[in-house]
Amino acid sequence: MPSKTVRNGARLMAGALAAACAAFGPSAAFADAVAGNDSDALTISITPNVDLGVDIDTATPAGFLDLGSLALGATAFTANPATVSVVGSFNFQELQVQGEVLDTWTLDGDQTANENALQLYALFTTVSRSSSPAQSAFDFTGDATAADANLVTVTARNGGVDSTTGETGDGRFEKQTDASDISPGAGSVDDLSVGDKRHLWFRADLPPTTTVSAAQKFEVTLTAVNGNTN
């Protein structure tokens, strides 16, 4: 049997070794030669498959507005609005307005009257307005691009303020403040959310002369677009 002295010496050596390990820690025994590969990262990319959309609801028959028989040179207004609803899943939509000629007359691109050319104005309001705005409300008074900004043309035109040019105030096809010729009902068409609704009104200035007597039809298309790039 080992002597008590030997046993005590073994205990002392074991205690000294444990104290040394505690003092220097595991890092001293296992140094990391390449610390740069201790961690890594990856990037996850998700592209939302968004749905942009617009729905137009008119009185019977659906999708058709008849202004009736009008004298040349006259100005007429839609008596009832088309209700425009933003649909889909994207909460930052804006609207483009584009006209198409279906018969002989053209759509005038300026406010100078011309033969066989209809000056067709469009204006959005809030749904609180149930009667057509005054004639002057359709005349453009904002700072968008030109005095003809509210005319519907065969070229698609963006509604609202053009954010890329730093414009403020009214944009195309809208009034942002309740002036006397539109109150109540001024409403922006910038950055619309799903479920937002607007009333859409038209003013038609007939040409002073024409070479045809048949009914003239025009189609107006609204297209929902991404408001971040409009």
Residue 61 is given by DSSP the state T
Listed in sequence order, the residues at least 6 apart from 116 whose beta carbon sits closer than 8 Å to its beta carbon are 104, 105, 106, 207, 209, 210, 211, 212
pLDDT, position 181: 85
As a whole-number percent, the residues of the chain with pLDDT over 90 amount to 58
3-state secondary structure 144-212: CCCCCCCECCCCCEECECCHHHCCCCCCECCECCCCCCCCCCCECCCCECCCCEEEEEEEEECCCCCCC
- What digits encode the pLDDT tens for the residues 115-149? 999 999 999 999 999 999 999 899 865 554 555 67
- What digits encode the pLDDT tens for the residues 12-24? 555 555 555 555 5
pLDDT, position 139: 84
Q: Can you tell me which residue has the tokens 């900004």?
A: 149
**pLDDT tier, 153 (very low <50, low <70, confident <90, very high otherwise):** very high
Concatenated DSSP letters for 34-45? -GGGS-------
pTM of the shown model: 0.80
Q: Is the confidence at residue 188, as pLDDT, over 80? A: yes
Residue 182 to residues 20, 32, 186, Cα–Cα distance (Å): 88, 75, 6
Residue 230 has, within 13 A of its CA and on its CB side, a CA count of 23
Instruction: Give the angle subtended at the CA of 21 by the CAs of 18 and 26, to the nearest 5°.
Output: 140
Q: Once rounded to an integer, what is the mean pLDDT over residues 195-203?
A: 96
Region of 191 on the Ramachandran plot (φ > 0 left; ψ -120 to 50 alpha; else beta): left
pLDDT, position 165: 64
pLDDT, position 168: 65
Tell me what the pLDDT averaged over the chain comes to.
Answer: 85
Residue 65: how many CB atoms within 10 A of its CB?
A: 17
- What digits encode the pLDDT tens for the residues 1-44? 555 554 555 555 555 555 555 555 555 567 889 988 999 999 99
Phi first, then psi, for residue 188 (nearest 5°) are: -70, 150
Q: What is the largest CA-CA distance in the chain?
A: 132
Q: Once rounded to an integer, what is the mean pLDDT over residues 196-203?
A: 96
Region of 80 on the Ramachandran plot (φ > 0 left; ψ -120 to 50 alpha; else beta): beta
Which of 13-27, 79-93, 112-126, 200-214 is least confident?
A: 13-27
Q: Is the confidence at residue 210, as pLDDT, over 70? A: yes
Contact status, residue 173 vs residue 158, Cβ threshold 8 Å: no
